[in-house]
Structure 1
């Protein structure tokens, strides 16, 4: 319990899960590095919320398609924060194409952003944590880290790969006091799912045991736990935040249109 994180970076924190996570870490007492790709105004809004909690916010643009320059952004943010205790790799992209129709360029784009850029950024972050009394590496993956979905071959492969990468990092950096874990969301009401500023409790999802999408703050709460001193003995784990969707299978969870299955 000697780990007291005060400096964090959250990539892709201009909206959705990233924004909620940046605010949650600020509420836990951390200054936060905030990155954006195409929505600078959103990142500035996140920074204002962090600053309203009495913490410092540093904003930079990070383009996950620009490898290895995206890692330089992590270095720059860590330098301005005066070090790094927590790194949350949240920036990512998706795809939607059947395997037989998936173009190589589309495959490369998704795998590059979701896996290769994550590798670069996580590696840079870990180097800043060495010799600093420990650290927390957290990657936002997806339920598709664990189960595939029709029409998402590149995304599934990248998220499975990122989960495997984090388990390896957990093995290699444990002696340094650095933990490595993933958080795997299901359907969360965010701009990425076309549900910006909508109350997920107003939505009906018959195929999800809890009956609704998730709130970004519910994901952020799990990230905040993994970033804390209390999570010192948690590493190589994947925390699924999906309302029970994986118990149904991701196709069933998102496509069932009635509650008949609940009656057995």
Structure 2
């Protein structure tokens, strides 16, 4: 038993995580899962403040602190200031999940420059700048950290009608690998998570039971649930992934494995249209 005059050990600080685009879908599921794992959470939103507030309530239900801020990744480089502000509110930042994203369903020949720039800014340049801010703080803290970039199966394979989206996600995948190499000496791991079709507002399936939605072209036969993506992110954000960096984790029900099979079994030219 310690002497009554002995100084008690300083408790370890609560880890802080920032999840961009956490007002719904995958971002909300990730924020809530990380809160359940014992982290205080910074939540960003772009257009759905009410959704972000709902996420915050779910985080607080796990006994963790939540800070909410608006993040507009078309307003660069100023938008990245939000990462610093949230880190100050949380007291530290140990995890950054770059989840905010956008896309388009426009044929290549019909794309305008403004659309291309918007998608690239939100899906690639924004995560680049946000990661710089987070990494600098992690290095200053001296305890390492975790950065997880939410990409897409289209980090690896193309989709008709999604030229800037695929370019951005492919670029974010390679950026992830460069960051992993450069930040490893500081104890910061960097990985990407590449979801397939997930039941979220972005796919118009937020309220659907994904286990009852048939997808014959996906080996597991259904879309994914946002919580299934969050479980992989939580692993990459936690202690058990300490020797994992520079990797891309597909959460797609086997979709990426279907290239040749899909090519040999399609029965019409419908795939040529977005």
Cα distance in 2 for partners of 1:63, 1:185 equals 23
Could you tell me whether the CA contact under 8 Å between 2:148 and 2:191 is conserved in 1? yes
> How many angstroms apart in 2 are the aligned matches of 1:55 and 1:76?
18
The Cα of 1:98 is off from its aligned counterpart by: 1.6
Unpaired stretches in structure 1, ≥5 consecutive residues? 258-264
1:1-264 alignment runs, 5 A limit: 6-132=15-141, 133-249=143-259, 252=262
Q: Deviations over 1:59-93 (max 9, x none)?
A: 00111111012110000000110010000000010
Q: TM-score, normalised by structure 2?
A: 0.89
RMSD: 1.8
- What is the TM-score of this pair, normalised by structure 1? 0.93
Runs of 4 or more consecutive aligned structure 1 residues displaced over 4 Å after TM superposition? none
Report the CA distance between 1:251 and its aligned residue: 10
Deviation at residue 97 of structure 1 after TM alignment: 1.4
For 1:219 and 1:148, locate their aligned partners in 2 and report how far apart those are by CA, in whole Å.
Answer: 21
Given that 1:149 and 1:251 are in contact with CA atoms closer than 8 Å, whether structure 2 keeps it comes out as: no
Q: 1:4–1:228: 8 Å Cα contact kept in structure 2?
A: no
Deviations 1:96-146 (A, max 9, x none): 112222111111111111111111111111111004210000000000000
Tell whether the 8 Å contact from 1:96 to 1:151 is kept in structure 2 after alignment: yes
* Aligned mates of 1:154, 1:251 — CA distance in 2: 26
How many residues were matched structurally? 254
Give the number of the structure whose alpha-carbon radius of gyration is greater.
2
Q: Is the 8 A contact 1:131 1:176 kept in 2?
A: no
